[in-house]
Structure 1
Amino acid sequence: MAEDFEAAVEEGLNLSKRVYFGKDRAVAPPKPLTAMDRATGCSYLPTSPMLYAVISDPAIVDNPDRPSYQPHVHGRCEPPALIPLQMNGVSLEVDCSLDTAFVTVTGTWRLHCVMSSRSCDCRIAVPMGEQGSILGVEVELPRKSYSTQLISVDNEKGTEKVPKVEDGGFLKAHIFTLTIPQIDGGTNISVKLRWCQKLLYCDGQFTLNIPFNFPEYVTPAAKKVSKRETIQLNVNAGPGTEILLKTTSHPLKEQLRQAGKLGFFYDSEVLSWSSSDFLFTYSVSSSHTFGGVLLSPPLVHDVDNRDIFCCYLFPGKQQSRKAFRREVVFAVDISGSMSGKLLEDTKTALFTALAKLDPEDLFNVIAFNDGTLLFSSSLERATAGAIEHVTQWINTNFVAGGGTNILLPLNQAFEMLSDRCNSIPVIFLITDGSVEDERNICDTLKHQLGKKEKIRPRIYTLGIGTFCNHYFLRMLAIIGRGHHDAASVDSIEDRMKGLFARASSIVLVDIAFQNLDDLDDLEVFPSQIPDLSSESPLIVSGRYRGTFPETLKINGVLADISNFPLDLKVHEAKEMPIDKIVVKHQIEQLTAQAWYTENQELKEKIAKMSVQNAIISEYTNMVLLETDKGKINADSAVVKKVSGKGDHHKAEDPKPQKIIMLPNMGIGFGNLTATAENIPPGSSYTRPPDAAEVFAKAASDCCASLCGRCCCMCCIQTCSRMNDQCAILITQLCGALACLGCYTCCGVCCGGSNDG
């Protein structure tokens, strides 16, 4: 899908050369990427918020202000070409709270490549940062406006037509697209985009990275067009913290500095738009583990009327603190769907993880499909010789083939992990498929973990693609106090690196709250509190009733098996939206629980939370609401005239005139059929049609094709797609048929006269 998008943009850039801007244009015509550019990783995928004109008929491509009267172009673009639109202004607003950034981008684009008498669809593309989640899109046009909204899957009546992939969805895991229908050429398009993403954390520093690298060809061609670029950044690290600025990619001016808060602003007229991502790095100064608790009442129309708490722990700079020894078992899927580049990337990621083990650490590798292959019958020390040996073993035995059996390697991993006090036993599960006995696997692992008397094994899971059940893998991680991450086909190494770094730097385990027994109806997310790693802050949230203590007492276990008590001060979250910070994590946790328990009431609660907070879930769909401004204004005038001067009540907001359903954007609960058929992740999977559907479609296509080719224009378009050899052959065939017809006609005529 991403490859098709790139090809469409490349075709669109070639097509945009038809647009004539005069001799005094400010920017050079767009140039296609060279082979060297592609070799260095350049592509036509968006690296900033972008708008594209969707062009099916190339004849409509022209300057709406200054027509060039170029020769008419016959034929159509199938699939449609995508011409990047020129941008007239952009504003970036970011609010960083704890480990989450809320991003708002407001921009104005112009449909500069379609003649004013014609119209076309426009496609919005929004690349997001780490674990980005789209929150909403608003589009303002002269006569219409559009906005996105989530609705429950049980409330889809009144939506227009069956959703198409082109209408919206995720081009990649971090690139959201949305199509706005039929915009007139020359129109100025105002767009507001909102999403949230995570801050990266490493060595005590937070890093904000927002895609903000605009290509040259979105710069307006006219010299007199004002180009204003604005950035507003607010950072809130929590009460009682001290923030130290490290690096920034853009020239920001400090506006605010308070305890735990920073504010920056940038506003400038520019010659060309930002050519680099917006990067901002800061540290929360501390050499030891610290944190706090924030409290907030429920919202007015909240689905859950219990109060909210958010507990956060920052590891600080822990150079002197000892980390736990590691006992690691890697269980790696080598079924048939893992063939090719997928398995090679997994092997590379595994080699990187093995190389980071210390000689005192213990490890083993299990490859599984229908059965299992073990590197060793027991754990091995990670010496240089053992690492070299296991590398050779992986290169020899990692051959893709067979089905998927997840329970067998997990049972074998549990059997070989020890029950020592001074080490962390970790199971790494890497798979791209789903299996039928997933709930049984969860039950089995719960039973296995209950047998461990000391430090229980941690379970870390990495799901590749969309055919695996990520909520099953997340449930395994919740049960095992570990973490789950999702990887696309081209991000396996990066996701595996981050997940292993988190598991390899654990400094505090078996964390528990000590003084919350007096609270009523307490619910904690996640239910099993994960370990604190020096590579990531720990955020635990929950709902409760009652009076929260002024100080939260927590306790954990350090690597030397000593207890580590910590008192966290409790504050009211007056200026920090903790409900927005924790809701995405809560929805993911609850969805895993709803899948596991098959609880219908819980599914309905998740749907309501999703709609209320605009967070995509498995039980909601996104729709595009279209509102006709002309009709609104006319209706408003009628209401004013009828109500008279004495009626000062505010008129009700107009209802949208049209609701367009978008494709489901959840990651789903796996695909058993695709797994059984060993279809690689990233491949498009559709249910094979039955015989009746095949026959009906063939008959329909045949009739439609015959009727469609009867008109002159369709005939011209059909002939325009032929190559020279085909045209010559058809001409000769038609000539031969004409000669044969003349010969037959002469024969009939002559024969008739002879008989007379």
Structure 2
Amino acid sequence: MFCLTIPQVEGGADIVATVRWSQKLHYDNGRFTVDIPFRFPYYVNPLPKVFMKREKIQLTVNSGFSKEVLLQGTSHSLKEKARQGDKLSFLHEAVVENWSNKDFIFSYSVYSGDLSGGIHVQPSTSQDYDDRDTFSIFILPGSGNRKVFKKAVVFVVDTSGSMKGKPLENVKNAVSTALSELVQGDYFNIITFNEELHSFSSCLEKVNEKAIASANDWMNDNFVAEGGTDIMHPLNEAMALLSSAHDALPQIFLMTDGSVDDEHDICQTVKNELLSRGSKSPRISTFGLGLYCNHYFLRMVASIGKGHFDAALETGSIESQILKWFRKASNTIVANISIDATGHLDDFEVDSEYIPDISAQCPLCISGKYQGKFPETVVATGYLADMTEISIELKVQHITDMPLDNIFAAQQIALLTAKAWLSADKQLERKVIKLSIENSVLSEYTSMVVLQTNLDAAQKQVKQKQKGHKGANEPLRFQLHGLKLGFGDKAATRENLLTCFGDEKPLETLKIFKKAGGCCGRVADCLCCMCCIKACNKMNDQCAILMAQICAALSCLGCYECCAEVCCGGSES
């Protein structure tokens, strides 16, 4: 939560607030969608018949693709102003009665009948944490309806005591829906684990209506939250089950809310399995629930296992997030991707441990660092569901107006942090710190601080420091807490504390805001509504003075009540 205090201003003055942030584009059924908060409360509307209400939205799209970009939908009427290659600009400008009361949504697609992609390269600058140049490789699944690999799926579900209640119920619902989306020719099994291990079947089951119904009945009886957490045993059992899947792509879907002591050993076990079984190694996708699990351990396992990682930090998003994660990981159309750039470059390092497969549900996008000179085109190769080889030609584009480092900063920080956690490499930690500071993206090794300054005071402070004097009024600094995930809570896992979600453990400061809002917020809402503003506009001076005195008295009483509740805890002395 960020608060902006606007100082006293004169009538007719313009107040401009600029907000800058980054967010991922949603991708669904070939469409990229951006959703920007664009709702204004009714009480910020200018007074009627006094100010013109002009609404203006300027949108520039840089798709990064040399192919045609097609507009698919928008929440506001946009007029295309210019189109040049992969760059488009739109404008919305209108006189409106009220400011917009709906979010701004814009979706587009890139015309591609089949798999297509490209490579963006950008030279490093003197401020970069790494003196190597940056590259990003992206491949779109296209709309060619490529055949999806047959799947041999094992769901590995944590049923320890901490999963009790909604978390386990939501996981069960998600697994049930995922089972219904498997098709004839697929195989499946379900393993639940706490201190013990329970399997739906002793072998992989063929997908049919009877087997799915039996699995749902089994989950109703066996999804019971009790006992501790042991991840290694069920993961080994799942890999052993999948060793018999010769004609299908083996996949493990691990869901847990806990952190365990042998996480480093599990990573090494997965890596050894990948090396021993080669292209037939199981893809391992991981999903973290809540704040007690080690998200970086789960991300590392998914990176080593060529799978996908996701997490739910709110109870209400568990089911939808699991289904989105499952569909992304299970709809593989090209496996075992390799890039031939290594033969042309002196150094080529991908941020992730291995290059994941291409899914029909999302684009493949990886980034990294390199030294040398990219050729004009690079070829990516892989295998289709019928085991025929496919080659995808990727054209190299030298980018100057797109900040690649900033775009991939959050992804790079997460992957490098996972690597630093696994290897305990202090040099990697320093890389994360530099990358975090350069791109203003929070990491586990840095903190975010709100700095309150006054421009005049800051200028005086600079002069005092130049003269060797210590500033009398140092700027206020407030460190923001609760923004980091941490590396898991093994103590909470051992004690079987109920899964901790951000929506179930509000910060103490938010409690104070709520209590303060109880007495003062309701008064402010009433004073700021349009009807009150209109009424005040018609008051004479004497009436306005009287109303101001009454409001001041009420505010004092409200603050007294707030202080009694918050500071004294409502107790009588």
| TM-score calculated relative to the size of structure 2 | 0.82
Q: In structure 1, what is the Cα distance between the partners aligned to 2:186 and 2:130?
A: 45
Q: In structure 1, what is the Cα distance between the partners aligned to 2:180 and 2:563?
A: 61
Matches within 5 A, 1:697-716: none
Corresponding letter in the other structure for 1:442: C
Matches within 5 A, 1:170-181: 177-179=1-3
Q: 2:200 aligns with which of 375, 385, 406?
A: 375
Q: 2:365 aligns with which of 521, 536, 539?
A: 539
What root-mean-square deviation, in Å, do the aligned CA atoms of Structure 1 and Structure 2 show?
3.1
Question: In the alignment, does 2:171 pair up with 1:350?
Answer: no
Corresponding letter in the other structure for 1:666: K
Report the CA distance between 1:299 and its aligned residue.
2.1
Residues 185 and 518 of structure 1, relative CA distance in 2, 3 Å threshold: closer
Matches within 5 A, 1:110-125: none
Whether the aligned pair in 2 keeps the contact of 1:209 and 1:279 (CA below 8 Å) is: yes
Partner of 1:603: 429
Residues 295 and 406 of structure 1, relative CA distance in 2, 3 Å threshold: same
Residues 477 and 638 of structure 1, relative CA distance in 2, 3 Å threshold: closer
Q: 2:306 aligns with which of 458, 478, 481?
A: 481
Partner of 1:194: 20
Report the CA distance between 1:513 and its aligned residue.
1.1
Residues 186 and 323 of structure 1, relative CA distance in 2, 3 Å threshold: same
Whether the aligned pair in 2 keeps the contact of 1:626 and 1:656 (CA below 8 Å) is: no
Report the CA distance between 1:181 and its aligned residue.
7.6
| TM-score calculated relative to the size of structure 1 | 0.63
Matches within 5 A, 1:463-478: 463-478=288-303
Report the CA distance between 1:676 and its aligned residue.
1.9
Partner of 2:540: none
Residues 720 and 323 of structure 1, relative CA distance in 2, 3 Å threshold: closer
Whether the aligned pair in 2 keeps the contact of 1:674 and 1:685 (CA below 8 Å) is: no
Matches within 5 A, 1:578-727: 578-632=404-458, 657-663=475-481, 665-677=483-495, 678-682=497-501, 683-684=504-505
Q: In structure 2, what is the Cα distance between the partners aligned to 1:238 and 1:656?
A: 45
Corresponding letter in the other structure for 1:463: G
Residues 623 and 225 of structure 1, relative CA distance in 2, 3 Å threshold: farther
Q: In structure 2, what is the Cα distance between the partners aligned to 1:461 and 1:519?
A: 33
Partner of 2:552: none
Percent identity for Structure 1 against Structure 2: 43
Partner of 1:366: 191
Residues 368 and 268 of structure 1, relative CA distance in 2, 3 Å threshold: same
Whether the aligned pair in 1 keeps the contact of 2:274 and 2:281 (CA below 8 Å) is: yes
Question: In the alignment, does 2:67 pair up with 1:258?
Answer: no
CA offset digits 1:532-580 (Å, max 9, x no partner): 0111111121111112222212210111111112221111113322222
CA offset digits 1:645-690 (Å, max 9, x no partner): xxxxxxxxxx98333322252211111122222222224399xxxx
Secondary structure class of the residue paired with 1:516? helix
CA offset digits 1:668-716 (Å, max 9, x no partner): 1111122222222224399xxxxxxxxxxxxxxxxxxxxxxxxxx99x8
Partner of 2:519: none
Secondary structure class of the residue paired with 2:17? strand
Report the CA distance between 1:312 and its aligned residue.
0.9
Q: 1:442 aligns with which of 264, 267, 285?
A: 267
Partner of 1:248: 74
Partner of 2:108: 282
Q: 1:399 aligns with which of 224, 247, 250?
A: 224
Q: In structure 2, what is the Cα distance between the partners aligned to 1:285 and 1:720?
A: 63
Q: In structure 1, what is the Cα distance between the partners aligned to 2:479 and 2:180?
A: 48
Report the CA distance between 1:270 and its aligned residue.
2.7
Secondary structure class of the residue paired with 1:490? helix
CA offset digits 1:327-356 (Å, max 9, x no partner): 100011111111111111111111111110
Partner of 1:273: 99
Q: In structure 1, what is the Cα distance between the partners aligned to 2:562 and 2:382?
A: 73
Q: Would you tell me which structure has more helix in proportion to its own residues?
A: 2
Q: In structure 2, what is the Cα distance between the partners aligned to 1:519 and 1:242?
A: 31
Matches within 5 A, 1:196-595: 196-220=22-46, 224-319=50-145, 321-418=146-243, 420=245, 422-488=247-313, 489-595=315-421
CA offset digits 1:240-289 (Å, max 9, x no partner): 21101111100112111122221111233432222222111111001110
Residues 182 and 312 of structure 1, relative CA distance in 2, 3 Å threshold: closer
Residues 334 and 217 of structure 1, relative CA distance in 2, 3 Å threshold: farther
Whether the aligned pair in 2 keeps the contact of 1:422 and 1:561 (CA below 8 Å) is: no
Corresponding letter in the other structure for 2:23: Q
Unaligned residue ranges in structure 1 (runs of 5+): 1-176, 643-654, 687-712, 731-756
Whether the aligned pair in 2 keeps the contact of 1:419 and 1:454 (CA below 8 Å) is: no
Residues 546 and 636 of structure 1, relative CA distance in 2, 3 Å threshold: closer
Report the CA distance between 1:192 and its aligned residue.
2.6
CA offset digits 1:616-664 (Å, max 9, x no partner): 111111112222123356689999xx9xxxxxxxxxxxx9833332225
Whether the aligned pair in 1 keeps the contact of 2:55 and 2:95 (CA below 8 Å) is: yes
Report the CA distance between 1:601 and its aligned residue.
1.4
Q: In structure 2, what is the Cα distance between the partners aligned to 1:286 and 1:227?
A: 41
Residues 394 and 659 of structure 1, relative CA distance in 2, 3 Å threshold: same
Residues 228 and 671 of structure 1, relative CA distance in 2, 3 Å threshold: farther
Whether the aligned pair in 1 keeps the contact of 2:152 and 2:245 (CA below 8 Å) is: no
Secondary structure class of the residue paired with 2:447? strand
Secondary structure class of the residue paired with 1:542? strand
Report the CA distance between 1:511 and its aligned residue.
0.3
Whether the aligned pair in 2 keeps the contact of 1:555 and 1:566 (CA below 8 Å) is: yes
Report the CA distance between 1:317 and its aligned residue.
0.4
Corresponding letter in the other structure for 1:673: A
Corresponding letter in the other structure for 2:2: L
Q: In structure 2, what is the Cα distance between the partners aligned to 1:518 and 1:719?
A: 68
Report the CA distance between 1:584 and its aligned residue.
1.7
Q: How many residues are paired up?
A: 507
Q: In structure 1, what is the Cα distance between the partners aligned to 2:425 and 2:339?
A: 28
Report the CA distance between 1:223 and its aligned residue.
5.7
Q: In structure 1, what is the Cα distance between the partners aligned to 2:485 and 2:281?
A: 30
Unaligned residue ranges in structure 2 (runs of 5+): 468-472, 508-556
